[in-house]
Amino acid sequence: MLIDNFKKSDVVARYLPKKLVSIDHAEAFAPSNIALCKYWGKRQSELNLPVNSSLSISLAHLGTRTQIRPSQTGEDQVMLNGQLLPVESPFASKVISFVDLFRRESSYPLVIDTRNNIPTAAGLASSASGFAALTLAINQYFKLQLPDSVLSAFARMGSGSASRSIYTGFVEWRMGRQEDGMDSHAFPLDVIWPDLRVGLVKVSTAAKAVDSRSGMKRTVETASLYQSWPAQAAQDLEKIHQALSEGSFSQLGAVAEHNAMSMHATMIASWPPLLYWQPDSVVAMQKIWALREAGVEVYFTMDAGPNLKLLFQEKNQTLLETEFSGLEVVTPFVESGSLSTSTATVKKSS
C-alpha cells in the first residue's frame, strides 16, 4: 500500500492557470455506468487510486446534468433535483469541497445545480455521474480546456467510478502506477454493440447500511479472500477485452457475472460480513440461472447493493420484460458518443 503522499488540491493545482477566469453559465451531462469488471479496493484513499483496473458500460441518457452559474447572494448555493440544500448537508459539503479544489482561495460564490434523471427505483448510484458531470461543468465554467484524460483523473478524485462516467459506451479505467495518480484515468473503447441491453431489476431502494467507500475499506482490511481479487480482476479484464474484440456476448455476460459474484464473495468474507443481498436478490439470481438453463441468454451483475443489472441482447428484451415486471431497460448505444471524442467501429455481438 502507498502512503497518502499526494493531496488532491496539490495535484489539481498543477493543471490550473495562475488566474482563474469564468463564464456566465456552464452545463454538462454525464451518464451513470455499470462495471462489468468491478473496482473494489483502493491502494490510496486520498486520491481514490484503485487496486485493480475496471471496465464499464455507460448508461446513455441516464445520469446527471449539472449547471454552474455565479451566485448572487455571495454564498455558495447547492441544489439537488430542484431543491436548495443546507451547505452543511453531506451532499452539499462534498460538492463544495470538490469545487474548492479548483477555485482555491479565490472568491467565486457559485450556484451548483445538480439534476439526476436516474429513476429512484433503479437502485443506481449517482456519485459516478454526479462527479463526472461536476468535473465537466467546472472545466467549462473556468475555461480550463483540459483533455478528457485529465478530467477523468479529476472526476476519480471525487469518486472512483466517476472516472468512467466521463465517456459513453464501453470504458476502461486503468489503475495506473504513478503516485500522483495522473495515469489512473479512464478511456473509451473503440467498440459499439447496438443490440446490447442493460436491464435494471429493482429489489430494494432503501439506503444501504454500509456505503461502497467503507465497504471496500472493510473488505481490504479484513477479508483474507481479498488477496485473490486483483489477479481475478486482471484475468476478467483480459477476457472481457477478448469478448469485445470477438463480438462474443456470451463471454462478456459470463465474465461479468463471474466477476460480480467474485467481488461479492470477498465482501461476504469480510468481518463483520458485508452481505448486500436481500432474499429477493437471490430469487432473481435463481430465475436468471433457470432462464439460462432454458436457453435464454441473460446474465447479471450487481454492485454494493441488493439490485441486479441484467445483461442481454435486443432479441430477448420482450421476454425479459415479461419475466421481470417493472424492468427498466437501457440501450447503451442508442446515441453516438456525445462526451468522448473517439470514433468507434461497429461490431455487433453474436
Helices (H) and strands (E) in the chain, counts: 9, 15
Q: Binding ligand 2P0 by CB under 6 A: which of 94, 103, 213, 258?
A: 213
Q: Binding ligand 2P0 by CB under 6 A: which of 11, 30, 38, 266?
A: 38
Kindly state the number of chain residues that form the binding site for ligand 2P0, as judged by CB under 6 A.
15
Q: Binding ligand 2P0 by CB under 6 A: which of 39, 142, 324, 333?
A: 39
> Residues 100-139: x/- map of binding to ligand 2P0 (CB under 6 A)?
-------------------------x-x------------
Question: In this structure, how many other beta carbons lie within 10 angstroms of the beta carbon of residue 133?
Answer: 29
Find the shortest distance in angstroms from Cβ 17 to ligand 2P0.
28
Rounded to whole angstroms, how far apart are CA atoms 291 and 322? 12
Footprint (CB under 6 A) of ligand 2P0, residues 169-198: none
Find the shortest distance in angstroms from Cβ 93 to ligand 2P0.
15
Rounded to whole angstroms, how far apart are CA atoms 109 and 190? 40
* Pick 69 or 202: Cβ nearer ligand 2P0: 202
* Pick 219 or 349: Cβ nearer ligand 2P0: 219
Find the shortest distance in angstroms from Cβ 267 to ligand 2P0.
9
Q: Is 259 in the site for ligand 2P0 (CB under 6 A)?
A: no
Residues 6+ apart with CB under 8 A from 237: 37, 52, 53, 54, 55, 172
Q: Binding ligand 2P0 by CB under 6 A: which of 54, 114, 129, 135?
A: 54
239 contacts 250 by C-beta, under 8 angstroms: no
Find the shortest distance in angstroms from Cβ 335 to ligand 2P0.
22
Q: Binding ligand 2P0 by CB under 6 A: which of 44, 58, 184, 212?
A: 212
Q: Is 160 in the site for ligand 2P0 (CB under 6 A)?
A: yes
From residue 302, how far is each of 34, 132, 204 by CA, in Å? 9, 21, 13
- Pick from 300, 334, 296, 299: nearest CA to 315: 296
Find the shortest distance in angstroms from Cβ 286 to ligand 2P0.
22
The three three-digit cell numbers of residue 265, written as one number? 464473495
Q: Is the peptide bond before 272 cis (omega within 30 degrees of 0)?
A: yes
Residues 6+ apart with CB under 8 A from 115: 64, 65, 66, 80, 81, 82
Rounded to whole angstroms, how far apart are CA atoms 209 and 274? 9
* Pick 118 or 291: Cβ nearer ligand 2P0: 118
Rounded to whole angstroms, how far apart are CA atoms 222 and 36? 24
Q: Is 349 in the site for ligand 2P0 (CB under 6 A)?
A: no
Q: Binding ligand 2P0 by CB under 6 A: which of 32, 44, 161, 168?
A: 161
Rounded to whole angstroms, how far apart are CA atoms 287 and 204? 17
Which of the ranges 60-68, 88-96, 155-163, 332-340 carries the binding residues for ligand 2P0, by CB under 6 A? 155-163
198 contacts 252 by C-beta, under 8 angstroms: no
> Residues 265-304: x/- map of binding to ligand 2P0 (CB under 6 A)?
--------------------------------------xx
Which of the ranges 3-11, 60-68, 98-106, 153-161 carries the binding residues for ligand 2P0, by CB under 6 A? 153-161
Cα dihedral value 220, 278, 287, 304, nearest 10: -30
99 contacts 8 by C-beta, under 8 angstroms: no
* Pick 125 or 255: Cβ nearer ligand 2P0: 125
Find the shortest distance in angstroms from Cβ 146 to ligand 2P0.
20
- List contacts with ligand 2P0 (CB under 6 A): 35, 38-40, 48, 54, 125, 127, 159-161, 212-213, 303-304
